[in-house]
Amino acid sequence: MAVKLMHYWTINPAKKHDYPSFIIKKFIPGVNRLGLHTVAGWSVLVGSYSEVIMETVSSDLDKLEAALKTNEYRKLKSELLNFIKHYKTKVQVPIPNRGSYSMSIAQDTVKFNQMWDVITLKLSDYKSYEQFVTQEFYPLMEEMGVHLAGEWDVLIGDEPHTVCEGRVTDVSSLIPALQGQTFRKAKKRLKQYVENYQSRILSFHVRKIKGHRSEAYEMIDD
């Protein structure tokens, strides 16, 4: 079971020149040596939130907890804070039978992430929500070219507590689809079951170098 540790921060303008080297040469390799595999880093293009989101994955919660308790991780975090501001983290666990998460991401991918809290006044409400998202909302996302990579529950971190991770490779079609009546009507129906709805479009900030023999990364923007 993939468990995510998500890092959020804003780059310190005074350290912007040295920041890329630290992230690529020290922070990511250090995190990976602890068993917290770095999937990618993301920049927030549309939507208000942290400037950078770093996506890391562990195979289970016990390994994640053990890594976070090490002196090596504490030192990495302490050094990281010299280059960034407004640092925070979230731990996310997968909601079963939602999407097909993969740590391999096509280089032309952008993310369309949606977040919300489910309104659960009674059991029948949750069942209606489940039926709607699995049989109508998520199939519509796929028809729009938004692949459901996974749905995640925020175990530790601020709200909203449900994260729908969507990946898009045909970027040119995303905005027209989001502006269309079909999606607008579906989102309106979704809001009958959820509150605190948010959405963000993300592009690569850091990505793996494809075809490289060793684990290597490149920064897309700095």
Fold: same for 3-94+204-211 and 110-202: yes
Give per-residue burial for 181-205: e unless 16+ CB within 10 Å, then b: eebeebbeebeebbeeeeebbbbbb
- Give the per-residue pLDDT at 213: 52
3-94+204-211 has CATH 3.40.630.30 classification: no
CATH topology of domain 110-202: Alpha-Beta Plaits (3.30.70)
In degrees, rounded to 5, the angle at the alpha carbon of residue 112 between the alpha carbons of residues 25 and 11 is 35
Give per-residue burial for 56-92: e unless 16+ CB within 10 Å, then b: bbbeeeeebeebbeeeebeebbeebeebbeeeebbbb
- Give the per-residue pLDDT at 214: 58
The one-digit pLDDT tens for each residue of the chain (222 residues) are 789 999 999 999 999 999 999 999 999 999 999 999 999 999 999 887 789 999 999 999 999 999 999 999 999 999 999 999 999 999 999 999 888 899 999 989 999 999 999 998 787 888 999 999 999 999 999 999 999 999 999 999 988 999 999 999 998 999 999 999 999 999 999 999 999 999 999 999 999 987 555 579 999 965
- Give the per-residue pLDDT at 200: 95
- Give the per-residue pLDDT at 212: 54
Cα 205 to Cα 45, 52, 99, 221, distances in angstroms: 10, 7, 24, 6
Q: Is the Cβ–Cβ distance between 9 and 85 less than 8 Å?
A: yes
- Give the per-residue pLDDT at 49: 76
Domain positions in the chain: 3-94+204-211, 110-202
- Give the per-residue pLDDT at 222: 52
- Give the per-residue pLDDT at 150: 94
**Rounded-to-integer distance, Cα 90 and Cα 159, Å:** 10
- Give the per-residue pLDDT at 210: 74
- Give the per-residue pLDDT at 122: 80
